[in-house]
């Protein structure tokens, strides 16, 4: 029978694979920036977001190039790598999956930041100020862990303090998902909260939380447990705000038939239109995906036959 450590390793590596897939989500945006050779309208300072194990942003598929996420990701992954190395030196916890995924994430975020750095052009100075501020923050933290904390205890205290700081940073970075949920509630639309990313986020949080339970590590458990609760809340919100198929069909029905009739000026224009001249440009007749009753079909045909040009166009297309 498998031991708790083996179960922890299994869920840890499963979480590592799923998180790696999630870390690839900025690639489409970066590819578009590389093809256009310019960041164009992409923002340097969007809403703050970026978690290490999970939920570093639901806005990765938004139209803005959120370089702040990637820069914060570099700092966040660095702190998790530091914590994993320190903890593995003073305990028997198998944190290899955690160390590997954050090392990979650190490399990926550096690559994303480099892409922006190349194509930032006039905003390079603004971007450099952001990078320098974040790097200074990280250097101060690590120097504090290495120089100040050991004076008050051993390596276990350094592991606990660095883990606490990293957890607090992760929890504070839940601003972006909460902003998205608030926007969904206000607009009553789920277009800002894609379902696949919400489901993937929840799966990743559950995997890391399960690993933390088996290896009895509170540093990993706390932020991922919070992320699990937030993921469940997002799915509940999505289920409440997502439109049903019947509503989608009704919206299309209303958009097709609840239109104002043409004005007298439009009727006169259609009556005087020259059919041979109109034949030079082929008009694409829109198709309706909503089932039509016989009465509605008759009404549409009667409306089309109200003018000669429309009658002629219908003979050409039907």
What are the tens digits of pLDDT across the range 146-192?
A: 888 777 777 788 889 999 999 988 887 766 677 788 888 888 888 77
Whether 206 and 67 map to the same domain: the answer is yes
190 three-class SS? coil
Q: 10 Å Cβ neighbour count for 316?
A: 13
What total of structural domains would you count in the chain? 2
Of 184, 216, 245, which residue constitutes the final position of a domain?
Answer: 245
Q: Which candidate, 95, 53, 113, places its Cα nearest to that of 77?
A: 53
Rounded CA gap, 140 and 157, in Å?
18
Q: What is the per-residue pLDDT for 309?
A: 43
Whether 161 and 288 map to the same domain: the answer is no
Q: What is the per-residue pLDDT for 180?
A: 80
Residue 251 located in a structural domain: no
Helix (DSSP H) and strand (DSSP E) numbers for the chain: 14, 0
Of 189, 218, 245, which residue constitutes the final position of a domain?
Answer: 245
Q: What is the per-residue pLDDT for 138?
A: 83
Domain that holds residue 308: 262-317
CB burial of residue 220 (10 Å; 0-12, 13-18, 19+) = buried
Q: Which candidate, 180, 314, 302, places its Cα nearest to that of 241?
A: 180
Of 220, 245, 270, which residue constitutes the final position of a domain?
Answer: 245
Rounded CA gap, 186 and 111, in Å?
35
Rounded CA gap, 145 and 162, in Å?
7
Q: 10 Å Cβ neighbour count for 186?
A: 8
Are residues 11 and 210 in contact, defined by beta-carbon separation less than 8 angstroms? yes
State the DSSP string of 131-189: HHHHHHHHHHHHHIIIIIGGGGS-HHHHHHHHHHHHHHHHHHTTHHHHHHHHHHHHHT-
Rounded CA gap, 93 and 114, in Å?
34
- Whether the per-residue pLDDT at 56 is higher than 70: the answer is no
Q: What is the per-residue pLDDT for 298?
A: 56
- Highest mean pLDDT out of 54-63, 115-124, 220-229, 251-260: 220-229
pLDDT tens digits, residue range 134-149?
888 888 888 888 888 7
Mean pLDDT of 266-291: 50
Rounded CA gap, 99 and 105, in Å?
10
Whether 287 and 241 map to the same domain: the answer is no
Whether 293 and 208 map to the same domain: the answer is no
Q: What is the per-residue pLDDT for 39?
A: 63
CB burial of residue 179 (10 Å; 0-12, 13-18, 19+) = middle
Whether 295 and 234 map to the same domain: the answer is no
Query: Residue 146 half-sphere exposure, CB side, CA atoms within 13 Å?
Result: 9
Whether 22 and 166 map to the same domain: the answer is yes
Distance between terminal CA atoms of the chain?
Answer: 71
Residue 257 located in a structural domain: no
């Amino acid at each position: 029978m498998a031991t708790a450590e083996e179960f922890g390793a299994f869920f840890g590596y499963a979480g590592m694979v799923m998180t790696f897939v999630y870390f690839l989500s900025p690639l489409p945006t970066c590819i578009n920036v590389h093809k256009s050779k310019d960041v164009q309208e992409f923002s340097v300072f969007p809403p703050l977001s970026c978690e290490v194990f999970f939920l570093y942003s639901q806005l990765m598929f938004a139209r803005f190039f959120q370089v702040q996420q990637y820069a914060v990701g570099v700092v966040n992954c660095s702190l998790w790598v530091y914590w994993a190395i320190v903890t593995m030196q003073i305990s028997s916890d198998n944190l290899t999956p955690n160390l590997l995924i954050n090392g990979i994430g650190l490399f990926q975020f550096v690559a994303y930041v480099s892409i922006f750095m190349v194509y930032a052009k006039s905003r390079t100075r603004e971007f450099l100020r952001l990078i320098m501020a974040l790097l200074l923050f990280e250097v101060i933290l690590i120097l504090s862990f290495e120089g100040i904390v050991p004076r008050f205890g051993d390596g276990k205290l350094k592991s606990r303090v660095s883990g606490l700081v990293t957890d607090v940073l992760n929890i504070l970075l839940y601003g972006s998902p909460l902003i998205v949920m608030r926007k969904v509630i206000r607009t009553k639309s789920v277009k800002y909260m894609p379902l696949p990313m919400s489901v993937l986020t929840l799966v990743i949080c559950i995997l890391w939380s399960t690993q933390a339970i088996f290896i009895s590590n509170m540093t990993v458990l706390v932020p991922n447990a919070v992320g699990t609760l937030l993921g469940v809340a997002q799915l509940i919100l999505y289920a409440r705000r997502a439109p049903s198929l019947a509503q989608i069909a009704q919206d299309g029905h209303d958009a097709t038939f609840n239109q104002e009739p043409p004005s007298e000026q439009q009727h006169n224009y259609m009556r005087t239109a020259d059919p041979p001249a109109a034949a030079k440009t082929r008009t694409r007749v829109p198709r309706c995906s909503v089932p039509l009753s016989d009465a509605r079909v008759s009404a549409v045909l009667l409306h089309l036959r109200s003018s000669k040009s429309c009658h002629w166009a219908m003979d050409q297309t039907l």
